[in-house]
Amino acid sequence: MGRVWDGLISDRDKEVYEKAGFGRTSGFGKRPGIVIIDVQYRTVGTVRAPILQAMEEFKTACGEAGWDAVDAIQKLLAVARAKAVPVFYPYVSHKESYDAGRTGTKIPSLMTVSDRGYDFVEEVAPHAGDTLIPKKHPSAFFGTPMVSYLIDQDVDTLLICGCTTSGCVRATAMDAFAYNFHVAVVEECVYDRGLVSHAVNLFDIQSKYADVVSLERAIAYLSGLADPGKGA
């Protein structure tokens, strides 16, 4: 099966990474958690539309790429919830604008979106019992109690979804890797406004920090878990 970065990464670079020993599979653990990052209307738009049209509503919208990922996340969540897998929602919070810091300086459009833009996309919105993690920086771990929540629910594996691939997804995957979690980025469930940036960052994430897995593989992993209440 082809990878999203094929045609962008040269054969020479692929050979160099392979000979250096990068890109090996780290695999799944026994207790997964789903991490859905910044899937808010400000990152997709309130209607399914091409990116330039979506950006007329929200400058930070990714348009159709975001909505395609929403469809995939729905499928992943359906299986995860049936297996009682914990779900975590790191999201940009703009309410406390006094601590926007350099995020507000570098990307002021993140802090000037209407309240509707910060609502979770309905199709993949949190359910009762899910964990919401407001953040002000790319990583879901930086300045948040993310690790504490994961430990409390005995999570050893993160299946990362959301956006953007080159920003918050990558930063979260790197920090999860640094904390020695098993990390999988679900390819169809992440998105970015830049197609090349999306593909190249997935290549880099796969090479160094996480397994970039297909939606099919992620669903197969979750489906193989014990049903709730039946034990291992």
Q: Which residues are catalytic?
A: 168
Strands 182-191 and 32-37: unpaired
The set of residues, in sequence order, having a beta carbon less than 8 Å from that of 208 and lying 6+ positions away, is 22, 177
Q: What is the secondary structure of 72-105 as a DSSP string? A: HHHHHHHHHHHTT--EEEEEE--S-GGG-HHHHH
H helix intervals, 62-187: 64-82, 101-106, 146-152, 170-178
- C-beta of residue 70 within 8 angstroms of C-beta of residue 121: yes
- C-beta of residue 149 within 8 angstroms of C-beta of residue 132: no
The SS3 call for residue 66 is helix
